[in-house]
A and B are shown apart, each in its own frame.
Chain A
Amino acid sequence: MGAHGPAKGFTRWLTTTNHKDIGSMYLWFSFAMFLLGGSFAMVIRAELFQPGLQIVEPEFFNQMTTMHGLVMVFGAIMPAFVGLANWMIPMMIGAPDMALPRMNNWSFWILPPTFLMLASTLFMEGGGPNFGWTFYAPLSTTYAPPSVTFFIFAVHAMGISSIMGSINIIATVVNMRAPGMTYMKMPMFVWTWLITAFLLVAVMPVLAGAVTMMLMDIHFGTSFFNAAGGGDPVLFQHVFWFFGHPEVYIIILPAFGVVSEIIPTFSRKPLFGYASMVYATASIAFLSFIVWVHHMYTVGLPIAGELFFMYATMLIAVPTAAKVFNWITTMFKGSITLETPMLFAIAKVFLFTIGGFSGLMLAMAPADFQYHDSYFVVAHFHYTMVAGAIFALSAAVYYWLPKWTGRMYNETMGKTHFWISFIGFNLTFFPQHFVGLAGMPRRIPDYNLMFADFNMISSIGAFIYGSSQLLFLFNVVRTITHGKPVSDAKVWDGATTLEWTVPSPAPYHTFSTPPEVK
């Protein structure tokens, strides 16, 4: 069984059921989407470089903010983590492949046509989605462009893909662990993905429900969100954020898993407080279901509601802080070396914590009335999504690239990518805290003159951060074609998980016979 290698030719990629092939396709696809969503961000920052309208029409600007959010969340970050899960989970738990390999192929191949369809709405009459990535009704129903129907089907399709991917991950982790690998011996990355997959299975159907109700309101005369027919637009916000809040943990939990692998490796110490990490992850997942209203403090809530959701939200800081302290304690007195993956991992912990603090500020209901829908919110969620998730993804790629390709990336280029990213990112988003507090609203193509300087700094930072990703792409391609071959199975001397026991590059089939875990 382990004898035959991959099929030849292009059809290999269409018909493959191999978890490594599918993982690679997910990663390449998500990187392409990252560049697409990034180019939308460049349009936004170019328009905001100076006050006044220069480059694009306000209608097109709205489509850019909407498509940037949708493509980055659903096209870049989520598929990238699914790609990592495909590559790493079977190898980390000593399984030969994913539990449902054919479904795995399908869940990937749904994505490219879906995003092609979503992107094509930009060229349709009336333009693409322009109602923000949160697509609040009635903006996304009564006032939506005709292309909204394509948007709805795209959301359905990406939801189906995510659900299938998650079922696959849960079925793999629950049933295919190597003998002796109990749940509490699983690597942290596997744990965080197991919990993430449960979140996905629970809330992607709710998102499907929200867009289905939109579809009914638009085409079949129902009034779920239409006040004139007895519905309520606020209901949309409840349904959306019941999905949307767990969604932000779906994005961040696998990133927590990645840094929980990388920090121990480069500190040459086991992860501090493994059990508490598992329980903290599970508590964050549970709490994510009872805090969604903190996105809606200003819709007119009773005081009891504001208080409940404020306290519940602040409670999330407790397990999250436990994780941050555990990472710091893991590094404490470790023999730390600062290779590129470790740099990205430390930066992720540091910058995500800043995002966590601004999150606490936003969690305070009375204060939120000032911060709501301002650039402060934009700064907050980019600190958690870009520094929290994308930095972790960069770390993961550098960390596992030698295992995937059998070649070492260029360390100097990696570190250069890190420092340019780090400076560019902070230059972009740190000033946005201040313009937000000073009152600059989000999702606008023009702004008051008083915000001009900081917006120019933001735009320059964004161009720096954006172009540093091309260096990343170059480094990865260069590694695949010209990288120095690595001979050891264990590329990093501090690594302990099972994927470092198979040769580098990882053969097409691994663990056809399960390893014994002591």
Chain B
Amino acid sequence: MEKSKLEPKDAALLRPIEKTTGKFWAFIGILFAIWAFGMYGWFNQLGRGLDVTGLNVPVYWGVYITNFVFFIGISHAGTLISAILRLSHAEWRRPITRAAEVITVLVLFFGVGCVLLDLGRPDRALNVLMHPNFRSPLLWDVTSISVYLTASTIYLFLPLIPDIAILRDHYPGRRWFYRLLALGWTGTERQKHILETLIATMAVLVIPIAVSVHTVVSWVFAMTVQPMWHSTIFGPYFVVGAIFSGIAAIIIAMAVIRRVYHLENYLKPIHFNNLGILLLVMALLWFYFTFAEFLTTFYGSDPSHMAIFMSKVGGEFSWYFWIMVVACFIVPLVLLGNGRTRGAVWGTVAASVSVEIGMWLERFLIVVPSLSRPRLPLESVAYSPSWVEWSLLAGFIAMFIFLYAVFTKLFPIISIWEIQEGREHAVVHVTQRVKSYLDTASAPLEPAASGSSD
């Protein structure tokens, strides 16, 4: 059996797996403490039920549902962006696809977890499978998220196979684990062909699935007749918001990996710059959708809609609203619109952190204000989330980071074989592709130029 090759200069990509520093363990310890705090909150809630939350009548949904929409949004980071970059033959994708895909798979579990947390009777969650009502948008959610989770797990796993084979051949100690997962990969031409076909097929499949997932999440709200939920643009609005917060999550993850594992040779400022441009485009799209949504509501001035509109723009939610506008639009516009701050890694990362905060507020502002102003007058109490709700958000984030860190210790977080493939073939491919764009008089086509149609 041919030993899977690893070029010496790529040894840095395996270092996180080989060496674990004391700092790493300390970090895991901190994550564990936060997670334990979340668990404490959860046990509290299991014992006393949703009584421990700050929810009430009519604000039946709060931070848990906000987190659900937020996490499912983040999940659009990986699979969707990676699939689009793969299909468009964007060569700069190579070091970032895996780091992105892992986010999707992991964060989806937490999205689903948020819904389970929100149930008054989590012990009966399986009723969703035993007595499904397919007229309910929540059932559409269950369906599309399950499909998405399956597809994005396969999509993460396929490009991992050749790298797992490298690990299998390098670490006899963990051999059984990697041999099991490598599925007998030896790197033959036939295997490569099958793998490439499968990856390409999955890349095409996951795009509509990913779009459907966040569309359906928006429909949970839009299908009701509640003011400022019942909107036809909610589907695309949510998808745009999801990709927006997703790209920001990739950028943050990349910056951390780059810093902690010293991967500056692979994750270069140009990658941050390119993702920064994508983030800027999404910021503009997000603003466009938000503006369109609010202007239509304002101009129509239906009283039940205006009550909610005013609570956001000038009422008790106005602080959140204006912070959201600054965090989701002004900050990215300034930091990413300027080539110098965008090109510097810190500028793109700062914009991404701002976007994450803004997008969480955006989700909160969709869920809570519409509920807090029912059409019929009701003596209601303002919703303020309890410590349990915050502890579970903190616990989920800590657990997500923990699992992500564990992944980097088991598998290369940058795809080794794809980096090698890029090094060997990318320049030739791109040259041929560019030549194929040119008029034939100035640059005669080489017969080998084929395959790329973009």
Decide whether A and B assemble into one complex: no
